[in-house]
Amino acid sequence: MSGISVNGMKPRDNTVLYKDKDPLHQKDIDARDVGTPDDWVPRHPDLVRLTGRHPFNVEPPLPALMEQGFITPASLHYVRNHGAVPKLEWDSFRLSIDGLVDAPKVFTMDDLVKMPAREIPVTLVCAGNRRKEENLRKQTIGFNWGAAGHACSVWKGVLLRDVLLECGVKTPDDGANHVCFVGAESMPKGRYGTSINWFTAMDPACDVMLAYEQNGERLTPDHGYPLRLIIPGYIGGRMIKWLTEISVTEAESDNFFHFNDNRVLPEHVTAEIANAEGWWYKPDYIINELNINSAIAYPAHQELLPLEGDGQKYTVKGYCYSGGGRKVIRVELSVDGGENWTLSKLTHPEKPTEYGKYWCWCFWELEVDVSELMMGENTELLCRGWDAAMNRQPEALTWNVMGMMNNSYFRIKVHRCLHPTTSKPALRFQHPTLAGPGNFGGWFEELSLGPAEAKS
């Protein structure tokens, strides 16, 4: 197979959605993984490590993510691991399904592959995307994601509803209200698990999938080999990797991580207050669907633009996504601190599903007059996205103890300078943060921690 057209999508410019093999496929073990439990997993060396050597939590540099276009190779897809990657084999792997079903069953991978398959592009996003901005306001209990904690791949698998129907799943009238999932990932607090409601699991429009392929190849270890959950439009934290158990239940999951992860608590609630007052168990604060979010990718951080005189143009570019299958309907750019906004040109590489759902990120661009970027000493580029439900990114971030779902305006500072090689006038662009704990030089970092020169 040289490529695939899915969901009625036609590859643009005679290209394909994905190639036969990951063009950046890695075979070597990164030296940083030697001596860790993951010293058998090949990984791309350019991924930005957010939690040191282990566990493996990474995102690609934002320019590298954007350069890949609509479909992200598995080797550059962000990774969120809580512990060591389980060593699982295709032939010996088993998925058990029990609970409120007429016929509990155990499936092999071959059993699942024989069932009718669904293959669609889906953007996955960590709920902590852009968390570093929150950590610079006040430290959260999470680590420093930048603006590339997301990626888009073509996922293939069997719909969860089909597997549950095969087992004779009961209905809410019989008390079947939730579907619980547990993976093989082992940690001191137990295995990672969560749940979704019965209606989401069983609605064909929701496309909840047990995936075994990513971009035409079997899953890699970091992405859940041999089987993972895909819930389009939801945060990545609900999409259990190395999925081994599914149970249909009356109550939601009682897994430790279902309650103690992926929440947006009120701004006054610290970790101590959350533990003392039981905020983790209040149902109103759970995160499921993604919110609207966008960012500027170009100009890149520290990009230099030589000034060429009157009439000079520059094309600002970025990405936008939303949750719940809602279409991104506009992204606006401001060059004057938010006083005025201009509509950008949107590109949606996907077509909606037969149910009208948009599961993927989109791209935007706007050509601006460079002279507009030189009108003041504190010029900023700001972007904000809107979706079909008229959800709009807020101007300012709202801090929360988990540092999740930050979707405030994305701001780039514009500085006048002399080009270091020509000594001629130029503009230098500065992003708010750089992903990871040891990276420094964003304007938000300088605002919170002092100038970069002082840190060096």
Span 373-394, pLDDT tens digits: 987 777 999 999 999 999 999 9
Residue closest to 356 by CA, chosen among 192, 190, 186, 233:
233
| Three-state SS at 364 | strand
Degrees to nearest 5, angle at CA 312 with 311 and 313: 115
With a CB cutoff of 8 Å and minimum separation 6, the contacts of 165 are none
Mean pLDDT along residues 334-347:
96
Q: Is the pLDDT of residue 48 over 50?
A: yes
What pLDDT is stored for residue 17 in this prediction? 63
The answer to whether the bond into 299 is cis (omega within 30° of 0) is yes
In DSSP terms, which residues pair with 158 in a beta bridge? 210
The whole-angstrom separation of Cα 401 and Cα 297 is: 27
Least confident of 69-78, 182-191, 219-228, 361-370: 182-191
Between these two residues, 451 and 43, which has the higher pLDDT value?
A: 43
Residue 5's pLDDT is 37
C-alpha 85/C-alpha 94 separation (Å) is 17
Whether 85 has a pLDDT exceeding 60, the answer reads yes
Q: Has residue 365 got a pLDDT over 80? A: yes
* pLDDT surpasses 70 at 405: yes
Return the pLDDT at 20: 54
Kindly state the percentage of the chain with pLDDT values over 70: 94
* pLDDT above 60: residue 454: no
Q: What is the pLDDT of residue 202?
A: 98
Q: Can you tell me the distance from the alpha carbon of 210 to that of 196, in angstroms, rounded to the nearest whole number?
A: 14
Is the model's pLDDT at 6 over the cut of 60?
Answer: no
Tell me if 319 sits within 8 A of 363, measured CB to CB: yes
Catalytic residues: 126, 261-262
What is the pLDDT at residue 186? 85
Domain boundaries of the chain, sorted by first residue: 48-281, 293-449
Q: Cβ distance 67 to 153 under 8 Å?
A: no
pLDDT of residue 229: 98
**Residue 24 predicted with pLDDT over 90:** no
User: What mean pLDDT comes out for the span 179-190?
Assistant: 94
Distance in angstroms (rounded) separating the CA atoms of residues 281 and 276: 11
* Least reliable range by pLDDT among 19-28, 97-106, 248-257, 443-452: 19-28
Rounded to the nearest integer, the mean pLDDT of the chain is 93
CB 44 within 8 A of CB 79: no
Q: How many whole angstroms separate alpha carbon 44 and alpha carbon 38? A: 14
Asked if residue 414 has pLDDT above 70, the reply is: yes
Report cis status (omega within 30 of 0) of the bond before 61.
no
Q: If one looks up domain 48-281 in CATH, what number appears?
A: 3.90.420.10
- pLDDT of 8 above 50: no
User: Rounded to whole angstroms, how far apart are CA atoms 174 and 97?
Assistant: 17
Residue 442, token pair as written in the block: 């964003």
Angle at 270 between CA 266 and CA 273, to 5 degrees: 95
Query: What CATH class is the domain 293-449?
Result: mainly beta
* Cβ-contact 201, 161 below 8 angstroms: yes
**Would you say 444 and 130 are in contact if contact means Cβ atoms under 8 Å apart?**
no
Residue 333's pLDDT is 98
What is the structure's pLDDT at 1?
30
Q: Do 423 and 154 touch, CB atoms closer than 8 A? A: no
Instruction: Check if the beta carbon of residue 257 is closer than 8 Å to that of residue 193.
Output: yes
CA distance 263 to 192: 15
**pLDDT(422) > 90:** yes
pLDDT in the model for residue 18? 60
Compute the distance between CA of residue 131 and CA of residue 114 in angstroms, rounded to an integer.
Answer: 41
Question: Terminal CA-to-CA distance of the chain, rounded, Å?
Answer: 51
> Which is more confidently placed, 254 or 17?
254
CB 130 within 8 A of CB 295: yes
- Find tokens 């103890």 and name the residue: 401
Q: What is the pLDDT of residue 453?
A: 58
Please report the pLDDT score of residue 11 as a whole number. 33
- Least Cα distance to 236 among 294, 356, 155 occurs for 155
